[in-house]
Amino acid sequence: MKLALVLCLLLLCMSVTAQVVYKTVKADGSVVYSDVPSEDAVPVNLSSMNTVVVPALNNAASQTASRLNPVKKRSPEVQYLVFIRSPAAEQTLRDNSGVVTITAEVVPKKSGKFQLVIDNQIVKTQSKSKFQLENVNRGAHTIQIHFLDNSGKILASSKQQTFYLQKASALINAN
């Protein structure tokens, strides 16, 4: 076992003698490299060995530099959650004037802006979490609230949910 290990190490430590490599450019422009000389072949000088210098990790200069420029620990990013408190998912609202109040909440609490999206259209952006809408058409509406920082970047979004608005028809009880 030890003998096999020693032989492997000796094989790795032996230097490889470089052979001559020839380069030939054909009539169509393609280049061929070979160890066999041919007509119009040009010998290519290859360096005997590629080397890489690896800097030492535990020298005094690197320790001084690490003390002068300590790695800044990044505080973990806060994960915000946005919830739509009212109307509840799949709730049916009845209002003939089309007034709808939508209330949201962000956890953990932070100052920022709330952006209301109804039926995939941005309707309002404001700092308050309570939206008062007027003249909403009857029918099904999908809502979502985005919580934005002061630069307008979306920090969190609520799940989309649907509410239904019913209005009394003008055709009912028509005499």
CATH no. for residue 149?
Answer: 2.60.40.10
Q: Is residue 135 part of a domain?
A: yes
Q: Is residue 55 part of a domain?
A: no
Query: Tokens 């003698």 label which residue?
Result: 17
Asked if residues 84 and 143 have their Cβ atoms less than 8 Å apart, the reply is yes
Q: Which of 8-12, 31-35, 81-85 has the weakest average pLDDT?
A: 8-12
Q: Which of 44-53, 60-69, 142-151 has the weakest average pLDDT?
A: 60-69
Q: Is residue 4 part of a domain?
A: no
- Rounded to whole angstroms, the Cα distance separating 139 from 46 reads 78
Residue 55, CA distances (Å) to 8, 59, 74, 105 in order: 27, 9, 27, 53
48 pLDDT exceeds 60? yes
Residues β-bridged to residue 102: 131
Alpha helices in the chain (DSSP H): 2-13, 60-68
Query: Tokens 């790795």 label which residue?
Result: 12
Report the phi/psi class of residue 106: left, alpha or beta, with left for phi > 0 and alpha for psi in -120 to 50.
beta
Cα radius of gyration (the chain) = 37
Q: Is residue 111 part of a domain?
A: yes
Which of helix, strand or coil describes residue 135? coil
Q: Is residue 7 part of a domain?
A: no
How much is the average pLDDT of 16-41?
81
- Rounded to whole angstroms, the Cα distance separating 57 from 166 reads 72
Neighbours of 83 (CB within 10 A): 14
| Average pLDDT of the chain to the nearest whole number | 81
Q: Which domain holds residue 89?
A: 81-166
Band of residue 10 on the pLDDT scale cut at 50, 70, 90:
low
Q: Is residue 92 part of a domain?
A: yes
Global pTM? 0.53
| CA neighbor of 118 nearest in space, from 84, 92, 155 | 84
